[in-house]
Amino acid sequence: MPSPIRNLHRAGWLRAVVPAALISSALVAGGSIVAASATTTTPTYGACLSKSARTLYRVTVSPARPATCKAADTSVSWNQTGPQGPAGAAGPAGPAGPGAAAFTASGTYTVPRGVTRVLVELRGGGGGGAGAAAQSGIPGGGGGQGAQLEALVPVSAGSALAVTVGSGGAGGIVDPTSCTDGGNGTASTAAVSGTVLASAGGGGAGTCLFSTTGGPAGTASVTPPATGAEELAAAAGSSAGSGGGPAAIAGSGGAGAVPGNDLSGHNGTGGIVVIIPAT
């Protein structure tokens, strides 16, 4: 006996009652419809198919159990959602927001629209490690770490901050009977209209020979109207030759020369300035 669903399709009325997208995933099995396998099974639709009236009734969304139909009618269900299609093309990039900027060389920061304060993080350049007298066996002193400072600086949209990034000090020279001290690191600063509002000083140089000392850590300063300043701890260099601060970070002091191993003391590391919009 022909399936009632085939008869309804042949009569052309089922497509007008149930959208094609909702029945396209159904399967005819023994005169009834069962949901086809798909990548997702929700939501599903259930209903009763009237044999005499050729209509659907008791239509439910995601039914907990098959519809209870009249004796001559058929319980049907189908899945509305098919497999996920391929991803569409990526849209165009949005406009650039007022993001942070990191400076490892001196430059200018232009304040974005809507920003009235910026958080400025500065590290001064590290001091250079001293050389050593090769015959003395005494290592040169390590350079001090540059100062580390955070400060809030008031600004206006479109204005410019002049950024100066401190340089690391040069390492001293090794000589058979004499040596030279390292060089001082220089300050990293942020200035508005020619006035320096935040400054992280450079680390001091290590010294050598009979007055071997580690270089001092840099010092920081803030000028109003900059506020909210916080000076982070910076390390001095060691008289035993270690530079101040971890060698891998900006503003660290250079190690002093070790007789028999080095031709000179190690240079201090350059500083850095990071500017982050605060409002």
Domain limits for position 26: 4-79
- The answer as to whether 87 is a domain residue is no
Same-domain status, 265 and 194: yes
Residues near 222 by beta carbon (within 8 Å), at least 6 away in sequence? 149, 151, 197, 198, 199, 229
Query: What does the alpha-carbon distance between residue 145 and residue 237 come to, in Å, rounded to a whole number?
Result: 7
Please tell me which residue, 129 or 28, carries the higher pLDDT value: 129
Same-domain status, 139 and 276: yes
Same-domain status, 270 and 139: yes
- The answer as to whether 86 is a domain residue is no
Structure tokens at 208: 């050598």
Please tell me which residue, 163 or 17, carries the higher pLDDT value: 163
Instruction: Please provide residue 20's backbone torsions phi and psi, each rounded to the nearest 5 degrees.
Output: -60, -35
Same-domain status, 61 and 104: no
Same-domain status, 160 and 246: yes
Q: Are strands 195-200 and 220-222 parallel, antiparallel or unpaired?
A: antiparallel
- The answer as to whether 186 is a domain residue is yes
Please name which of 160, 147, 162 lies closest in space to residue 230, comparing C-alpha atoms.
Answer: 147
Same-domain status, 55 and 151: no
Q: Are strands 56-61 and 44-49 parallel, antiparallel or unpaired?
A: antiparallel
Query: What does the alpha-carbon distance between residue 165 and residue 260 come to, in Å, rounded to a whole number?
Result: 34
Same-domain status, 39 and 151: no
Same-domain status, 50 and 133: no
Average pLDDT over every residue of 150-174: 95
Q: What is the pLDDT of residues 216-251, one digit of tens each?
A: 999 999 999 998 778 889 999 999 989 999 988 999
Neighbours of 258 (CB within 10 A): 18
Lowest mean pLDDT among 118-127, 159-168, 205-214: 205-214
Choose one of 46, 79, 112: the last residue of a domain.
Answer: 79
Please, what is the average pLDDT of the chain? 83
Please tell me which residue, 26 or 149, carries the higher pLDDT value: 149
pLDDT of 28 > 60? The answer is: no
pLDDT-derived band at 191, boundaries 50, 70, 90: very high
- The answer as to whether 92 is a domain residue is no
pLDDT-derived band at 97, boundaries 50, 70, 90: low
- The answer as to whether 219 is a domain residue is yes
Task: Provide, rounded to the nearest whole percent, the portion of the chain with pLDDT above 90.
Answer: 51
H helices present in the chain, as ranges? 4-11, 14-17, 20-23
- Predicted pLDDT of residue 10: 38
Same-domain status, 16 and 120: no
CA 201 to each of CA 80, 130, 196, 204, 238: distance values in angstroms, whole numbers, following the listed order: 68, 19, 12, 9, 19
Query: What does the alpha-carbon distance between residue 124 and residue 184 come to, in Å, rounded to a whole number?
Result: 11
Same-domain status, 175 and 278: yes
CA torsion angle for 271, 257, 171, 135 (degrees, to 10)?
A: 170
Please tell me which residue, 129 or 209, carries the higher pLDDT value: 129
- Predicted pLDDT of residue 96: 57
pLDDT-derived band at 43, boundaries 50, 70, 90: confident
Same-domain status, 161 and 263: yes
Query: What does the alpha-carbon distance between residue 265 and residue 173 come to, in Å, rounded to a whole number?
Result: 6
Q: Are strands 74-79 and 220-222 parallel, antiparallel or unpaired?
A: unpaired
Query: What does the alpha-carbon distance between residue 234 and residue 251 come to, in Å, rounded to a whole number?
Result: 9
CA 275 to each of CA 64, 177, 185, 219, 239: distance values in angstroms, whole numbers, following the listed order: 58, 47, 21, 20, 35
- Predicted pLDDT of residue 95: 60
Q: What is the pLDDT of residues 50-67, one digit of tens each?
A: 888 888 888 888 888 888
- Predicted pLDDT of residue 123: 97
Q: Which amino acid is at 236?
A: A
Question: How many distinct structural domains can be found in the chain?
Answer: 2
- The answer as to whether 11 is a domain residue is yes
In 30-50, which positions are buried (b, 16+ CB within 10 angstroms) versus exposed (e)? eebbebeeeeeeeebbbbbbb
pLDDT-derived band at 164, boundaries 50, 70, 90: very high
Same-domain status, 235 and 111: yes
Choose one of 79, 114, 144: the last residue of a domain.
Answer: 79
- Predicted pLDDT of residue 99: 76
- The answer as to whether 88 is a domain residue is no
pLDDT of 9 > 60? The answer is: no
